[in-house]
Amino acid sequence: MADTPQPDDSAKNRRRRSLAIALALGAFALLFYAVTIIKLGPAVLDRPL
């Protein structure tokens, strides 16, 4: 099979999978942040400390 992964590819594939998970989690966190701001309004940042 031409596209059969070789042992050398294992580390590369694992790194790419990890990167994909990291990107997905990062995007997920950003999404929650954006929607929180939209739902609560920008005033959520404007409060006395």
Residues lying near another protein in the complex (CB under 8 A)? 4-5, 9-10, 13-14, 16-17, 20, 28, 31-32, 34-35, 38-39
Closer to another protein at the Cβ: 31 or 44? 31
Amino acid (one-letter) located at 12: K
Coil, helix or strand at residue 49: coil
Smallest distance, another protein to C-beta of residue 20, A: 5
CA distances from 5 to 12, 14, 49 (A): 10, 12, 56
Smallest distance, another protein to C-beta of residue 34, A: 6
